[in-house]
Structure 1
Amino acid sequence: MARDKDEVASPSAQEFNLDPRSWEDFRALGHRMLDDMVDHLSTLREQPAWRQVPDSIKTDLLNEPLPRLPQGEARAYEDFRRNVLPYPNGNLHPRFFGWVQGNGIPLAMLADMLASGMNPHLAGFNQAPALVEQKVVSWLAALMGFPENASGVLESGGTMASILGLAVARHAKSGMDMRKQGLQGGGPRLTVYCSTETHGWVQKGVELLGIGTDWLRRIPVDTQFRMNVAALRDAVAADRAAGHRPICVVGSAGTVNTGAIDDLRALADFCQEQDLWFHVDGAFGALARLSPKLAPLLSGLERADSLAFDLHKWMYLPFEIACLLVRHPEAHTGTFAFAPSYIARQPRGVSAGGFPFSDRGVDLTRAFKALKAWMCLKAYGVELFARIIEQNVEQTRYLVRKIEEHPRLELLAPAPLNVACFRFRPEGLPAEQLDRLNTELLLRVQERGLAVPSSTIVNGAFAIRACNVNHRATRADVDALVQAVLDQGENILQEWNSPDFDEPWGWII
């Protein structure tokens, strides 16, 4: 039966929100959360570098039914404290040297809480958080030697930042109206160039942007794992002769495998001569430029048309925060800007600031990533960040010396920055057995919580890879890593030489 107008308008029905029922209880829970996190962070050295998630907890996490009814804030937090907090991938730990993952800064953890508490929408708008992001981008541009009017935007990670840089390159150098016609306008094939050591984002980028991997030219490297500029010149010339259109060269400021730095000056010269876009993938290595001692290694980076780097790697901030800088603001906004009526800029009010950040990428809704960078730069200053970056490089050189001095260890690649690739190598073992030995060794070092290096392949050989973007690491942690590798390697040798060892691929020393 239909209700009359007065019944529909009656406020008799209960209305809900998601604020705490008791702010005082919520305040107490928040203090407990902070105390627990401080306890966790302050006792990292007493914890294993990594621990396996127990099967019972995996079962609890994966089989929990959808909660239809409230369980309460305290219960939700207790489940986190018991089932989640003790079992991360280890990157907080002083002996974490895996992949390229920073450990986070406690102050930045609190900054993220403040940012989430404010919950601003960072497309732009007339608001202080947008001014903070604008200032952080300008600070980063200055640190990287980019011009004052350079454009920039904060993104989730280096992959997204670099893909956006490649999109700007496609817009600027394709010779076609990419925004209207895309790649269906009938123009020549677009070609992109990177080294064989470039991070996998470039493959995702050319696929996502419709260029395709058939038109990605992977240029060979020299003995230092740097792009061979002569081979690049030949590849570009061959593509031009075939009627294709080269648009972009991707240089690396710290390759993911070995930390190699391409000859950025030579690449900048070549791109200027050939009218090509020069993008630099500086995911972690670009931040070495904060150090006056290390900056010369990156000479030429400041000439890039676009540069991507992660502040959650070698600036130690919590995930997610990366930066794309673009030398030419008109090319940057020309790639992405559009102005539908629902985000029209107004002369006054909330929209008076416009929407500059949504005009520099694909995201409209963006979190307040800049706050943690702004607060940490203010709190600690560039010079302290530079000193810790130098410290990581010094620790890596110390690791290299220990590897070169030990008869059972072998360095597999040059270590120009903060990445060392090595292996445990007893005499007389064939390559296949060395790879199996080092694979097992690596897993045991991780599983026993001794340290967390990762792995890669260098010149066909399995390598233990130690990448140091760890502000908590000391030389004692480097010593512990080396000792863990030696101890586990010797343990495996003893096991594999035991009469009880019955693996089909066993061998005797």
Structure 2
Amino acid sequence: MKPYPNPTFAPEQTLDPADWNAFRAQAHRLLDAAVDRMERYREGPVWTALPQALQADYQAPLPSMGIGPEATQAHMEALLPYGVGNTHPRFFGWVHGSGTPCNLMADITAAAINANLGGRDHGAMYVEKQVVNWCRELFQFPATSSGLIVSGTSIATVIALKAARDRCFDFGSRKAGLQNTARGRLVGYTSEQTHSCVARAFDILGLGTEALRKIAVNGRFEIDTEALKAAIAQDRAANLTPFLIVGTAGAVNVGAIDDLETLADIAQAEQLWLHIDGAFGALGVLSERLRPRLTGLQRADSIAFDFHKWLHVNYDAGFILMRSEESHRRAFSERPEYLKGASRGLAAGNPWPVEYGPELSRGFRALKVWAQLAEHGTAKLGALITQNCEQAAYLAELVNACPQMTLVAPVAMNICCFRYQIEGQDAKTTDVLNDEIVVQLQTQGIAAPSTTLVNGRNAIRVNITNHRTTRADLELLVREVHRIGQELLNTGLAPEKWNF
């Protein structure tokens, strides 16, 4: 055979390092820096704003010439102390998981494999299938159910509600759309306490947020099931088409759990799809303390939840579990010729995950979920959920013992909401005071709770989804809230004097 002609080409390039030994040493240095950061999460402030000098580093123009590996790594190391703070034991804001060292190893492994989990037959796919099977087992769903790892509950909700919507039209709406359908206007129901991602899903799916009925709650902030039944009857009388009930397992404001069994009964009687927003609360089934209050979960048509909250998986990792694999697949499956499957070879492994959601390009999130469950097991993870609930109850006791603090909602799970107030102080001034107490806790690096509205008034909201939190952290929090509150009152509530 004659040799190929040898025209003059420019030297071929690659993005791999020229010196793998130098890269290995560099990688070890960064790993050491990352592990040092993890080992010392408790030390230092909970949150520190990114300094102006480092902010300036990220306002540079697009580089045409690279700065090289050493300078790039120096930038990454410099970022390590400036996260949102959720890895610290006194991060109490919103509902953020705290991560684990185990997941650092999983992310390194996943990055080295660099797999696309949209489909095909390769090792990463078997890991995700294992996680799906474990979720079926966890929530007692049938073998005919299906699931998909996604970025979080927001996209999981869109996936579930699309399946619910499409089923109403026998999936013909996938081609015909929602114009001039015989079913008329669809409406769904949820509580006033449900996360905003549900209304956003109605918007994204073309239903409009006005089609989501927000039902009043009772004194425990759970959906009023009698009001729900009345709303469904009223909409049917108006020739509207109810199609969905969204229950909440862990309302984001106060942690309330709806009466899921009653919601399942109503959904069954009315022939409606029952979706559960279980972003953090659904995994309470691992806890002996919470499991009895979550028995209705196994009756749902779909459950959306996050591994990166109470399972402490590194961001991001959510999940949608759907009772009917057929409805799930029919809502999304589309296999053009370039995604044709096969019974053998790399194009095997059917059906593919792309048939259960909108993404073809999907990262290997499954590995860190699998690693967390494999290393620690459900018993320990469940015990940590119980521990957080007990800590929230303990915080409520500390609040009740302080004359200047008042609980504003029952502690249903792991969230405690309270106000710092002085007798005789008007409600608006108390609102301002509580907002500023939280800002001072954050900027002084002491703790990072958030604020919320409970019955129309500002409250300090302490969420505990952190395996590093101790009762001593909560005792310190209460002491510091009282100290800062007194210092603010001593200034006469003059905001210009609050920068202390």
Measured against the shorter chain, the TM-score band is over 0.9
- Residue-by-residue CA offset, 1:56-77 (whole Å, 9 max, x unaligned): 2222322x22221121111101
Cα separation, 1, equivalents of 2:495 and 2:317 = 49
- Residue-by-residue CA offset, 1:89-138 (whole Å, 9 max, x unaligned): 11110100110001111111210111111011101211111011011011
Q: In the TM superposition, what is the alpha-carbon distance from 1:347 to its structure 2 partner?
A: 2.1
Q: TM-score, normalised by structure 1?
A: 0.95
The question of whether the paired residues in 2 share the 8 Å contact of 1:194 and 1:219 is answered with: yes
The question of whether the paired residues in 1 share the 8 Å contact of 2:47 and 2:84 is answered with: yes
Asked if 1:140 corresponds to 2:138, the answer is: no
Asked if 1:149 corresponds to 2:144, the answer is: yes
Letter in 2 for 1:295: R
Q: In the TM superposition, what is the alpha-carbon distance from 1:175 to its structure 2 partner?
A: 5.4
Asked if 1:273 corresponds to 2:269, the answer is: yes
Q: 2:450 aligns with which of 448, 451, 454?
A: 454
Asked if 1:403 corresponds to 2:375, the answer is: no
Q: Tell me how large the CA RMSD over aligned residues is.
A: 1.7
The question of whether the paired residues in 1 share the 8 Å contact of 2:107 and 2:368 is answered with: yes
The question of whether the paired residues in 1 share the 8 Å contact of 2:171 and 2:331 is answered with: no
The question of whether the paired residues in 1 share the 8 Å contact of 2:416 and 2:461 is answered with: yes
Q: In the TM superposition, what is the alpha-carbon distance from 1:316 to its structure 2 partner?
A: 0.5
Letter in 1 for 2:149: L
In the other structure, the counterpart of 2:29 is 32
Q: 1:180 aligns with which of 170, 175, 196?
A: 175
In the other structure, the counterpart of 1:53 is 50
Please state whether the residue corresponding to 1:91 is helix, strand or coil.
coil
Question: Percent identity over the alignment?
Answer: 41
Letter in 2 for 1:382: T
Cα separation, 2, equivalents of 1:193 and 1:429 = 38
Please state whether the residue corresponding to 1:227 is helix, strand or coil.
coil
Q: In the TM superposition, what is the alpha-carbon distance from 1:142 to its structure 2 partner?
A: 0.9
Q: What are the residue-to-residue correspondences of 1:28-107 with 2, within 5 Å?
A: 28-62=25-59, 64-82=60-78, 84-107=79-102
In the other structure, the counterpart of 1:17 is 14
In the other structure, the counterpart of 1:312 is 308
Cα separation, 1, equivalents of 2:144 and 2:350 = 18
Q: In the TM superposition, what is the alpha-carbon distance from 1:12 to its structure 2 partner?
A: 3.1
Q: In the TM superposition, what is the alpha-carbon distance from 1:11 to its structure 2 partner?
A: 5.1
Please state whether the residue corresponding to 1:433 is helix, strand or coil.
helix
Cα separation, 2, equivalents of 1:400 and 1:19 = 55
Q: 1:343 aligns with which of 339, 350, 362?
A: 339
Cα separation, 1, equivalents of 2:303 and 2:181 = 30
In the other structure, the counterpart of 2:373 is 377
Cα separation, 2, equivalents of 1:502 and 1:258 = 29
Cα separation, 2, equivalents of 1:165 and 1:457 = 29
Letter in 2 for 1:423: R
The question of whether the paired residues in 1 share the 8 Å contact of 2:288 and 2:386 is answered with: no
In the other structure, the counterpart of 1:127 is 122
Asked if 1:295 corresponds to 2:291, the answer is: yes
Q: In the TM superposition, what is the alpha-carbon distance from 1:208 to its structure 2 partner?
A: 0.5
Cα separation, 2, equivalents of 1:399 and 1:21 = 56
The 1:11/1:380 distance shift into structure 2, 3 A limit, reads farther
Letter in 1 for 2:479: Q
Asked if 1:256 corresponds to 2:275, the answer is: no
The question of whether the paired residues in 2 share the 8 Å contact of 1:174 and 1:190 is answered with: no
Cα separation, 1, equivalents of 2:75 and 2:275 = 45
Please state whether the residue corresponding to 1:279 is helix, strand or coil.
strand
Gaps of 5+ in 1: 1-5, 505-509
In the other structure, the counterpart of 1:321 is 317
Please state whether the residue corresponding to 1:46 is helix, strand or coil.
coil
Cα separation, 2, equivalents of 1:13 and 1:174 = 58
Q: 2:209 aligns with which of 213, 225, 229?
A: 213
- Residue-by-residue CA offset, 1:123-157 (whole Å, 9 max, x unaligned): 12111110110110110121112123310000001
Letter in 2 for 1:24: N
Cα separation, 2, equivalents of 1:170 and 1:360 = 15
- Residue-by-residue CA offset, 1:248-269 (whole Å, 9 max, x unaligned): 0000000000000000000000
Cα separation, 2, equivalents of 1:13 and 1:59 = 37
Gaps of 5+ in 2: none
Please state whether the residue corresponding to 2:58 is helix, strand or coil.
helix
In the other structure, the counterpart of 2:240 is 244
In the other structure, the counterpart of 1:3 is none
The question of whether the paired residues in 2 share the 8 Å contact of 1:153 and 1:325 is answered with: yes
